[in-house]
Structure 1
Amino acid sequence: MNAKANITAAPQAPAAAPEAQSPGPLWWRRTGNALLDKALPPTVITLFCLLIWEMLCAGEGAALPGPIQVVNDTWELISNPFYDNGGNDVGMAWQILASLERVAWGYSLAVVAGVSLGVLVGQSTWAMRGLDPLFQVLRTVPPLAWLPLSLAGFQDSNPSAIFVIFITAIWPIIINTSVGIRNIPEDYRNVARVLRLNGLEYFSKIMLPAAAPYIFSGLRIGVGLSWLAIVAAEMLVGGVGIGFFIWDAWNASLISDIVLALIYVGIVGFFLDRLVALVGRLVTRGTSAG
């Protein structure tokens, strides 16, 4: 037999995977591609919309300013958002913070009252039959229709605006919370009976975790409505706030200031929605719907 046939070739080591050879560049490429996929579409669409806006408003006799003119007219507001000349003559940052403070108060009260009433309606058939028709009627009342009544009751613009936010945001919170409570699986209730959980334990360990996805859906709707309501309410009640800033700019024929304020309103509303959504994802993580 040929001696060469008895010689077993030594196995060759497998080639290292590209990830093992250069994990750094590959990670950067993947991260860059992910960021590109998320950032490129909105960037392109935004630039396209700005271009169309500029083209429509660039001609002579245009009623509205284009983006370039808006930036030129409002550059002092953009570059110095924290100026304070006293009274209502303050920067955009202070205007937005004043509105956010009112939203925080009204929305917080709506969350406490809305979740509590939602749990009551979801748990009690008698309460649902008695309160649900009332809620369905009141939630159809436009937010600003409550403003004269609140001004008459509180005799002050600030609590009146807070009440308008409260009465606007509470309805989606109540409705979504009650739906979540009613949709708790019967198995969960049986487990609570087997473990003999008391009312507080059942509320904290079974009810709230199971209904949390529904509750946060209502909270997201509520925070959006709150921001819409405060801008409209401040136009009527006055004082420092982004809504009154828009109305004051209209009275002074400062259209570019109005456009800038609307952009800020949209950005703040977007971040408020994302903030509530982020908290909701963290709270509902591990639940059946989270």
Structure 2
Amino acid sequence: MARSLPTAGLAAAAEPSAPTVPSAPAAAAPRDLAAAWQQRFGSLVQNLLPPVLGFGLLLVLWSIIAQGNPGIPGPQETWLQAQEIFRDPFYRNGPNDQGVGWNVLASLQRVSIGFGLAALVGIPLGFVIGRFEFLSRMFNPVISLLRPVSPLAWLPIGLLVFKGANPAAIWTIFICSIWPMVINTAVGVQRVPQDYMNVARVLNLSEWKIATTILFPAVLPYMLTGVRLAVGTAWLVIVAAEMLTGGVGIGFWVWDEWNNLNVKNIIIAIFVIGLVGLLLEWALIRLASAFTFEEVKA
């Protein structure tokens, strides 16, 4: 009799085994997610830790100085006073008794007017000086002579000419803000690649067409840098000018608090001035980055 083959075993061996699912991607996904979170956390720590340590060191030094000098309030006293001041920053009890908010707005208004007038004059003047060599040689000595003059030296001239504190402060802002815009715009025009001007000459473009289609886009980053420097200078100058001229403004507010021997309010004003200047700087940096381009090199 023929022996029967073990068909059951053969059938089992013939059946294809189910494919095994690799577990590596499933295990890699949590690792990638953890690595991404770790990278984000590390970047956050690197960005936040240095300024936090810097401000912490400032507070420690401030506390040590305040403990050794009873006339200087410490951080906690100043913080409590700041809460009181900013509870109603826009109160108004008369022309010389107004909240810190109104004083900041008055200073910003003067800065805006003086800076705006300086931009209207300085930017076109910078274009002309940078475009024509003769005008550059004519105006450069004058700019080099007047630019280093202290801002407050111009204030008496403004009081003499305009017969008022407010226009004199605006004049001081104007004369100190104009130089960065003139110089940076002129430098930008002079650094326009000569190939651009050769193309304009071949196309027989008018001077207006050259200024609007070639010079302005190429000079815009330089011009915005001058604007940023001018705004910083204007904000520095207005505080000192208002201390001398009086009226409403953050500089006058600081001087008035000094006359009242209110040192806590003076320290608060220092931080307010710095914060407003920081916000102006940040806004102009963002504006400049939107119009700044990198030259593509072959």
In the TM superposition, 1:210-221 aligns within 5 A as: 210-221=218-229
Whole-angstrom CA distance in 2 between matches of 1:18 and 1:265: 54
Are residues 232 and 288 of structure 1, via their aligned partners in 2, closer, same or farther at CA, if it must alter by over 3 Å? farther
Q: In the alignment, what sits opposite 1:197?
A: 205
Percent identical among aligned pairs is: 40
Are residues 168 and 278 of structure 1, via their aligned partners in 2, closer, same or farther at CA, if it must alter by over 3 Å? same
2:169 to 161, 172, 188: 161
TM-score (norm 2): 0.85
| Partner amino acid, structure 2, of 1:266 | G
Deviation at 1:88, TM superposition (A): 2.3
Structure 2 unaligned runs (5+)?
Answer: 1-12
What is the root-mean-square deviation of aligned Cα atoms in Å?
A: 2.8
| Partner amino acid, structure 2, of 1:212 | L
**Structure with max Cα Rg:** 2
Q: In the alignment, what sits opposite 1:76?
A: 84
| Partner amino acid, structure 1, of 2:145 | V
Are residues 258 and 16 of structure 1, via their aligned partners in 2, closer, same or farther at CA, if it must alter by over 3 Å? same
Q: In the alignment, what sits opposite 1:35?
A: 44
Q: In the alignment, what sits opposite 1:209?
A: 217
Structure 1 unaligned runs (5+)?
Answer: none
| Partner amino acid, structure 2, of 1:95 | N
| Partner amino acid, structure 1, of 2:250 | I
Deviation at 1:80, TM superposition (A): 2.0
Are residues 197 and 87 of structure 1, via their aligned partners in 2, closer, same or farther at CA, if it must alter by over 3 Å? same
What is the aligned length?
Answer: 283
2:63 to 31, 46, 54: 54
Deviation at 1:287, TM superposition (A): 5.5
Are residues 192 and 77 of structure 1, via their aligned partners in 2, closer, same or farther at CA, if it must alter by over 3 Å? same
Deviation at 1:194, TM superposition (A): 3.0
Is the Cα–Cα contact under 8 Å of residues 209 and 287 in structure 1 kept in the other structure?
Answer: no
Q: In the alignment, what sits opposite 1:95?
A: 103
Q: In the alignment, what sits opposite 2:236?
A: 228
Q: Deviation string for 1:219-260 (max 9, x for gaps)?
A: 221111100000000011111100000111111111111110
Whole-angstrom CA distance in 2 between matches of 1:10 and 1:192: 70
TM-score (norm 1): 0.88
Whole-angstrom CA distance in 2 between matches of 1:144 and 1:198: 43
In the TM superposition, 1:17-32 aligns within 5 A as: 30-32=39-41
Q: In the alignment, what sits opposite 1:121?
A: 129
Are residues 17 and 117 of structure 1, via their aligned partners in 2, closer, same or farther at CA, if it must alter by over 3 Å? farther
Deviation at 1:17, TM superposition (A): 7.7
Deviation at 1:264, TM superposition (A): 0.5
SS of the equivalent of 2:224 reads: helix
